[in-house]
Amino acid sequence: MNNETSYEKIADNMPNPQNLPPPYSVAVQPPVQPTAPIVFQPPMPSHLYNATAVQDPKEEPILQPVQVTKAPDYLAYSIFTMLCCCLPLGVAALVCSILTREANHERNITSAQRNSRMARILAHSALGVGIVIIILYVVFVFTYLK
């Protein structure tokens, strides 16, 4: 009996079907806006907008060819120092060598020269470190193991 009263209360709180809004399928038309009258304007005279620009033949633009860059990339030298001498400096030299190649391909002279110089310096440093390590190893072997 308690359950029945709760059902009745829920049923009493339901909205009346006459008070519901219209369903969505009914299309509501927007208010019609009055249109402005179309006014015909005659075209402008051709001498006002067909003017041509006259350029003096002496003022032609001067096209300068882009300089081809051939900065050495030291790629083989960098790979050699990376594999045989000093790995960290050789990897840095290899990265600079690749950047030099890209700058040469893009015809960027400044970047190509800077990266080429850095690749050479790093490869020389790697070779120097490798030679020092080999000399120290040979000295150690002959002095302490004999």
Q: Give the integer Cα–Cα distance in Å for 136 and 128.
A: 12
- Whether 96 and 122 have beta carbons less than 8 Å apart is answered as yes
* 89-100 tens-digit pLDDT: 999 999 999 999
Q: Give the integer Cα–Cα distance in Å for 85 and 39.
A: 86
Q: Give me the residue spans of the domains in the chain.
A: 73-145
Token output for 38: 């179309």
Taking CA atoms, 101 is separated from 66, 116, 123, in Å, by 17, 9, 16
Q: Give the integer Cα–Cα distance in Å for 18 and 32.
A: 29
- Whether 117 and 73 have beta carbons less than 8 Å apart is answered as no
Using a 10 angstrom Cβ sphere, with 0-12 exposed, 13-18 middle and 19 or more buried, the burial of residue 135 is exposed
Instruction: Report, as an integer, the average pLDDT of 67-95.
Output: 91
Give kind and range of the element (H or E) at residue 51: none
Looking at the predicted structure, is the pLDDT value of residue 129 above 90? yes
pTM, entire model: 0.53
- The pLDDT of residue 29 is 67
Distance from CA of residue 37 to its chain's centroid? Answer: 52
* 18-70 tens-digit pLDDT: 676 666 665 666 666 767 676 766 666 655 555 555 556 666 666 666 566 78
DSSP one-letter code for 126: H
- With a CB cutoff of 8 Å and minimum separation 6, the contacts of 84 are 130
